[in-house]
Amino acid sequence: MVFGLSKRGSNLHFLNCVFQNNTTYDFYNNTNIAIDAKNNYWYALDSLSIAQRVYDFHDNAGKGKVSFIPYLLQPPPYLYLPADFNLDGFVNGFDLAIFAVSLWHNSRKHQLE
């Protein structure tokens, strides 16, 4: 699953992120660049509630627009990933690999039972 921030050319894309419990806004575009924030989870189930938590062109004409529709209706599954599996103080691909092997091992064990 792809998640996080990516940049293609001059475009910024946020994908499979969770925006919640921030101060006044959950997403604040302080640039004049349009940002693609589609397919994220906002802990709100309607676009009007999400729009109130996004600061962009609609709040200040000098800022870029934030596109957030379509949005996720539940958190992406990676949120339930315990973080630092190898206890090296970082969350990275090594932790994801350990998690994936653990899932595979457990699924194989259940298939054999």
Tokens linked to 89: 């103080």
pLDDT over threshold 70, residue 51: yes
What's the pLDDT score for residue 68?
A: 96
CB 50 within 8 A of CB 39: no
pLDDT over threshold 60, residue 3: no
Q: Considering only CA atoms, which of 65, 72, 3 is closest in space to residue 31?
A: 65
User: What's the whole-number mean pLDDT along residues 28-40?
Assistant: 90
What's the pLDDT score for residue 95?
A: 60
Give the residue with greater pLDDT, 88 vs 65: 65
pTM score, whole prediction: 0.64
Alpha carbon of 53 to those of 36, 68, 72, 96: distances in Å? 15, 11, 15, 31
Q: What is the 3-state secondary structure (H, E, C) of the chain?
A: CCCEEEEECCEEEEECCECCCCCCCCEECCCCCCEECCCCECCCCCHHHHHHCEECCCCCCCCCCEECCCCECCCCHHHHCCCCCCCCCCCCHHHHHHHHHHHHHHHHHHHHC
